[in-house]
Structure 1
Amino acid sequence: MTDMSKLFIGGGILLILIGLAWPLIGKLPGDLMFKKGNTTVFFPIVTCIIISIVLSLVLSLFGKFK
């Protein structure tokens, strides 16, 4: 199996896991939302941090299998 196919398989599995977990992590307590009139601004700070940590762990695992 080539490196590119491993990357696509890992990416697909990661997207499936994120899709399944999204209702649970959709809006966390540290995410900021501001509403003023008809305008809503949403900053998913904590969600981005958690996704970054998970991606770092997954990519480090794939790096060890080479």
Structure 2
Amino acid sequence: MVWLGPAILGVILIAFGILILLVPQILVALIASAFIIVGLALIGIAISLSNARQTSVTYRRVERIDPFSDDL
């Protein structure tokens, strides 16, 4: 039954294509919503990077720890 998922997706895509042919405004709404979502995602990434840069930590070298040492 591995074929069932792609088959259902194919039927949905064909139905969506026919629906777009009948009502072209759906395509306009789909593209506009994709632009809005991508724009919001990019703004979120930019804010996240801005905060990460401000709160970055400087790391210093740590001595190597021997796990087989008896000093533990």
With the length of structure 2 as denominator, give the TM-score of the two structures.
0.35
Query: Normalized per residue, which structure has more strand?
Result: 1
Identify the structure with bigger relative contact order (alpha carbons < 8 Å, sequence gap 6+). 1
With the length of structure 1 as denominator, give the TM-score of the two structures.
0.37
Greater Cα radius of gyration, structure 1 or 2? 2
